[in-house]
Amino acid sequence: MFTGIIEGLGTISAIHPSGQGSRISIVSDFDLTGTRIGDSIAVNGACLTAVSLQASRFSVDVSPETLKRSVLGRIKLGERVNLERALRLSDRLDGHLVSGHIDGMGTLRERKTLANAIIITFGVGQSLSRYMIEKGSVAVDGTSLTINRCDSSTFEVSIIPHTAGLTTVGFKKVGDAVNIETDMIGKYVERFVLNREPVDRKPGPSDGGIDMAMLAKSGFI
């Protein structure tokens, strides 16, 4: 589990195809003291396992599914990536709950400056936009961001100078692809609402279940 608060950047130093998967080596800009082989590290938002570690350099194995669903399938030597080590239970949750499981990719459509902020619009498919709401959370290349506004094919975020300077989002160009992870709560709510298969127990007098009426009564919709 991650927070979407990027610790720093890394540089792709080696790419070794392995069957339909790949082993990627990364050199981190920050100290990896305390990190061990087997630990989870989010690389551009994708949760990967460190399989080798030496000083600030580590390697991860990337599955065919992750290569297909994320920008890691088109990563190049020398490319800069966002890095975040897994959340510890004692840490503060400064961003939002990020699983590190990429839902799909988006494309940077527009970027403009407004006062001290960079306003960026991303294009996404409806399979992603259906889980986005105004002022909701989204992880873009692993960076926790707040959605300013959204529709069925785009969403807009504001980037402050601190975020622009610490993450890859700050130097992404129009046309660049990014990893997208939508808010997991929306996906679970949809699953509960749509999956109404009977359960093997007799309902009690206070047994309600989750449906549209219950969500409306509780103020969720």
Cα–Cα dist 156/148, whole Å: 5
What average pLDDT does the structure give for the chain? Answer: 89
pLDDT tens digits, residue range 138-190? 999 999 999 999 999 999 999 999 999 999 999 999 999 999 999 888 888 88
Alpha-carbon gap, residue 94 to 7, rounded angstroms: 12
* Residue-wise pLDDT tens digits, 90-139: 666 666 778 899 999 999 999 999 999 999 999 999 999 999 999 999 99
Q: What is the mean pLDDT of residues 211-217?
A: 69
Domains of the chain: 8-85 (2.40.30.20), 104-184 (2.40.30.20), 187-217 (no CATH)
How many Cβ atoms from other residues are within 10 Å of residue 74's Cβ?
A: 10
- Residue carrying structure tokens 């996906």: 187
CA distances from 138 to 58, 142, 148, 185, 199 (A): 27, 9, 11, 11, 33
Sign of CA dihedral 37, 40, 44, 46: positive
Rounded distance between C-alpha atoms, residue 161 and residue 23, angstroms: 33
Q: How far apart are CA 26 and CA 76, in angstroms?
A: 11
Looking at residue 90, what is its pLDDT? 62
Residue with token string 């498919």? 125
Q: What is the pTM of this model?
A: 0.84
Question: How far is residue 69's CA from residue 67's CA, in Å, rounded to a whole number?
Answer: 6
